[in-house]
Amino acid sequence: MLVGHGMVGQRFLEALTERAPGAWRITVLAEEARPAYDRVHLTSWFSGTTADELSMWPEGFAQSHGIDLRLGDPAVRIDRAARTVTSESGAEFPYDALVLATGSYPFVPPVPGHDAQGCFVYRTIEDLEAIRSWADTARTGTVVGGGLLGLEAAGALRALGLDTHVVEFAPRLMALQVDDGGGAALRGKIEELGVTVHTAAGTQAIEAGADGRVASMALSNGEVLATDLVVFSAGVRPRDQLARDCGLPVGERGGIVVDTACRTADPRIQAIGECALAADGRVYGLVAPGYAMAEAAAADLAGLEGSFTGADTSTKLKLLGVDVASFGDAHGTTEGSLEVLYSNSREGVYKKLVVGADGSLLGGVLVGDAEAYDMLRPLATSAAALTVPPEQLVLPASIGTAPGPIALPDEAVVCSCHNVTKGAIRAAVTDGGCADVPAVKKCTRAGTGCGSCVKALGTIVADELAAAGVQVARGLCEHFAHTRAELFEIVRVKGITTFSRLIDEHGTGEGCDVCKPAVGSILASLNAELGNSVHILDGEQAALQDTNDHFLANLQRNGSYSVVPRVPGGEITPEGLIAIGEIARDYGLYTKITGGQRIDMFGAAVDQLPHIWERLVAAGFESGHAYGKALRTVKSCVGETWCRYGVQDSVALAIELELRYRGLRAPHKLKSAVSGCARECAEAQSKDFGVIATSAGWNLYVGGNGGMTPRHADLLVSDVDRETLMRTIDRFLMFYIRTADRLERTAPWIERMEGGLDHLRAVVVDDSLGICAELDELMARHVETYEDEWRATLQDPDRLRRFVSFVNAPGTPDPTVRFVPERDQVRPAREDEDGNTLRPALVAGPRLEVRTR
């Protein structure tokens, strides 16, 4: 009999039925009304993942293994002498072997008011449903606890539109996983997103109003927070009451005492997961150790040798969009160990490695950039001496070159959830005949737990297949075996208009933060081709977008947003300048003329955005797509109209190009420029596509990028007339959108293209592939169907409901968005500064009416 049906309980069932099929008649008593589901990714429920998608209960599993699953009927009593378990319904079940997988319960500090209306825990799908329902009428939410789950809860509250606070008793966030430096970097990144963090502060009391609803929270440091929703995430406690009641030994701080085979003091009873106190004296609160205990208990019941002596507690996750990882001896407690640090406060990146006296990697902390985790964690568990200087493992890619997963020894554990080594993965490919990542997952279970090792898994599988001479499929991610270019063609040819249909027909699983934005970009690029009028914020399309696209604005470091209207060619009338100036003045926005010949306005609150757009649209402006993977600007000099050196009208051409390609969604952002002569004042040769005037026409340069790795553009065609120039750019852009990889700028796209510039010229100029007519038609449809996203949003009440973070308290400033004066304007306040909240009245023009349901 199994008591409890969470993730660990389900893993036990799978392991037992694999090792001893048909040997046991199994009854499962589950407290919840639904079978086991994925609690690791529970927060994804807020972004649209359904309960069915989170389920870990395979269809037909119970029938094929003769399992009697009793939902909503938890065990309430164990009679060890009679070997029976009684459930809440009064039913009595005999057992020959009993496995307790009762998990843990959230710890709620016993402070006054902890049971007020509006106080929740964050443990089950039902908890999340209650939180979301309450948030509909709330404005401010507070999370008690700054650990892993607490920060996930904070991210959920922020996504629900609440002004969010995190209260942590320890002096830093994630105190168990990261050190002071990592905690500071994490705090900085999270506060940039608008979440207020209170560390070294305990909850003293929760005050309720006359209606019994939460109204405020008093902290131990004297602060009083106004809040109308509280989520307790202050840790968990083992659910060991059943064991206590039947006389089984438990630890001083809880947890059912078990040996290395997960047996309790009663040889017929085992305990696994968070309810168990392992033989090493620890209660493990992570899924990987729970899975390992489930495997050990199942092996013992199957008559095999099973043992659990401890587990890797490494962690990698994304909290409020911030990458955080901790592995091995992260705090450097090993005698004689040394630390190697890399810190970049400007970028919010912190990396620390702990290196042993023998030169081995012992552990580390990564915040802001956890790209190397897939390689560093197994390198630490392998205990092998480093073959490169440790600083090379933490320096940015532009400075140091770190070895990849292929450099790991075979004994290195790649998947800590299922304890799968690199050698086992290689064997699955070479000896087991696995020809892709899904096959290796099925064979070894690697990558099927938390998912943090999937990238390393893909690299190892690809390298092993390549070494065997097998052609390796380079899919977009684990959910699609196709490349982005292939998915583009599938969507176009089959007329697919939704992500759900694409993944149902050509992918697996539910998707991830790699494929969703990539497919969202493809669908946006092909809207006109597909006869589709779906706005980027409509329905399923909205859930695919990156952060900035969600609000058609750029999120800034203090939680405010910037508004960037399009100014084609940098040409603007005095009336336009006055309109922008008045809007910036009325809303207290910081203004800056950018290098791309536009005026940026910073410091807007979410609910101010539609009002600002309304005035800009009325003045003749439209979205500049500063937030999107799309055309940003076409920079220009003044050309022959004003300049004594100019040979062509560069301003007119720049305006024509910008208006032609505005709103064109692409794998990455696009920048352009037009110079009126060879003096190159517009710097056209550093752009994705740049044009330079000649006395005979125009020269077109492509594939130039600025940024961290600047690249000079290449000359594609020279001395062409205006019509030929436009047609060539059309084809160049559409060929790029059609074939580039996700987040790939034009420079690396051309560099990796077989044949490089010559091949590109053959395709878009000479029509060597016979696709130029299609490329021309794609661009023509884009131009014909272009619609300003700001104007379209203003005209749709359903879309406007997205911008309602503070509608329930109009005119009240967001206390997390604070500014200080500087050079007669404002800038975001730093952590050590006393800033002011700015929220001018919504003025001028007809008021927008934004209603919530």
pLDDT exceeds 70 at position 844? no
Write the CA distances from 54 to 152, 233, 341, integer angstroms: 17, 21, 38
- 324 and 370 co-located in one domain: yes
Quick one: pLDDT band at residue 417, thresholds 50, 70, 90?
Answer: confident
Name the DSSP class of 329: S
- 120 and 190 co-located in one domain: yes
pLDDT exceeds 60 at position 809? no
Domain containing residue 731: CATH number: 3.30.413.10
**Residue 116 located in a structural domain:** yes
End-to-end CA distance of the chain: 47
CA distance 103 to 385: 38
Model confidence over 665-709: pLDDT tens digits?
A: 999 999 999 999 988 999 999 999 999 999 899 999 999 986 656
- 779 and 656 co-located in one domain: yes
CA distance 289 to 286: 6
- 770 and 638 co-located in one domain: yes
CA distance 10 to 39: 12
Model confidence over 340-357: pLDDT tens digits?
A: 888 887 777 889 999 998
- Please say whether the beta carbons of 96 and 83 come within 8 A: yes
CA distance 198 to 407: 42
- 48 and 138 co-located in one domain: no
HEC string for 24-39 = CCEEEECCCCCCCECC
pLDDT exceeds 70 at position 27? yes
**Residue 94 located in a structural domain:** yes
**Residue 573 located in a structural domain:** no
Higher per-residue confidence, 517 vs 272: 272
- 249 and 101 co-located in one domain: yes
The pLDDT score that the predictor gives to residue 548 is: 72
How many domains are there within the chain? 6
**Residue 387 located in a structural domain:** yes
Enumerate residues 6+ apart whose C-beta is below 8 A from 542.
536, 550, 802
φ/ψ (deg, to 5) at 366: -130, 125
Residue ending a domain, among 434, 452, 472, is: 472
Identify residue 585 by its one-letter amino acid code.
R
Identify residue 616 by its one-letter amino acid code.
L
Quick one: pLDDT band at residue 635, thresholds 50, 70, 90?
Answer: very high
The pLDDT score that the predictor gives to residue 848 is: 40
CA distance 277 to 100: 12
Tokens found for residue 310: 């401890």
Name the DSSP class of 147: S
Sheet holding 92-94, edge to edge: 75-79, 84-87, 92-94
The pLDDT of 79-99, averaged and rounded, is 96
- 219 and 277 co-located in one domain: no
Beta pairing partners, 277: 257
The pLDDT score that the predictor gives to residue 36 is: 94
pLDDT exceeds 60 at position 846? no
pLDDT exceeds 50 at position 641? yes
Q: Any binding-site annotation on 772?
A: no
**Residue 652 located in a structural domain:** yes
Domain containing residue 295: CATH number: 3.50.50.60
- 283 and 331 co-located in one domain: no
**Residue 569 located in a structural domain:** no
- Please say whether the beta carbons of 627 and 554 come within 8 A: yes
φ/ψ (deg, to 5) at 391: -65, -25
Nearest alpha-carbon partner for 514 in 667, 320, 347, 739: 667
Quick one: pLDDT band at residue 447, thresholds 50, 70, 90?
Answer: confident
- 658 and 772 co-located in one domain: yes
Q: Which of 7-21, 76-90, 190-204, 413-427 has the lowest mean pLDDT?
A: 413-427
Residue ending a domain, among 783, 802, 818, is: 783
The pLDDT score that the predictor gives to residue 530 is: 62
Write the Ramachandran bin of 645: left for phi over 0, alpha for psi from -120 to 50, otherwise beta: alpha
Q: Any binding-site annotation on 450?
A: no
Model confidence over 494-511: pLDDT tens digits?
A: 888 888 889 889 988 888
- 779 and 665 co-located in one domain: yes
Model confidence over 651-677: pLDDT tens digits?
A: 999 999 999 999 999 999 999 999 999
φ/ψ (deg, to 5) at 450: -75, -20
Domain that holds residue 182: 108-234
Furthest-apart CA atoms within the chain: distance in Å: 103
Count of C-beta atoms within a 10 Å radius of residue 757: 15
CA distance 286 to 274: 8
Domain containing residue 331: CATH number: 3.30.390.30
**Residue 821 located in a structural domain:** no
State the chain's mean pLDDT as an integer: 86
pLDDT exceeds 70 at position 450? no
- 140 and 221 co-located in one domain: yes
Can you tell me whether residue 198 is helix, strand or coil? strand
The pLDDT score that the predictor gives to residue 547 is: 62
CA distance 530 to 502: 14
Nearest alpha-carbon partner for 233 in 118, 112, 107: 107
**Residue 767 located in a structural domain:** yes
CA distance 538 to 792: 11
Q: Which run of H or of E encompasses 15?
A: helix 7-19
φ/ψ (deg, to 5) at 744: -105, 120
- 77 and 123 co-located in one domain: no
Q: Any binding-site annotation on 415?
A: no
Domain containing residue 443: CATH number: 1.10.10.1100
Residue ending a domain, among 732, 763, 783, is: 783
pLDDT exceeds 80 at position 24? yes
